[in-house]
Structure 1
Amino acid sequence: MTPFLVALGGAAGSVLRYLTDRKVQQWRGSSFPFGTLTVNIAGSFVLGFLSGWLLHGAEPASVRALVAVGFCGGLTTFSTFGYETVRLFLEKTRRYAVVNVVATVLAGLLSGVLGLWLATAVFA
Structure 2
Amino acid sequence: MDKRIELLIVCLGCFLGGGFRYLAEFFVSFRYSDQFAVLMVNLVGCFIIGIVTALVTKKTVSKSWGKFLTTGFCGGLTTFSSFASGINRLMFFGSTGLAVVYIVLNMVLGILFVYLGCFFVLGDKLGEIFD
Flag whether TM exceeds 0.5 (same fold): yes
Q: Following TM superposition, by how much is the alpha carbon of 1:78 offset from its aligned partner in structure 2, in angstroms?
A: 0.7
Matches within 5 A, 1:1-124: 1-28=5-32, 30=33, 33-121=35-123
Percent identity between the aligned chains?
Answer: 31
Unaligned runs of 5+ in 1: none
Q: Following TM superposition, by how much is the alpha carbon of 1:58 offset from its aligned partner in structure 2, in angstroms?
A: 2.7
TM-score (norm 1): 0.90
Structure 1 stretches of 4+ moved >6 Å: none
Contact 2:53 2:66 in 1 (8 A): no
**Distance in 1 separating the partners of 2:56 and 2:36:** 30
Unaligned runs of 5+ in 2: 127-131
Contact 2:56 2:63 in 1 (8 A): no
**Distance in 1 separating the partners of 2:9 and 2:44:** 20
Aligned length: 121
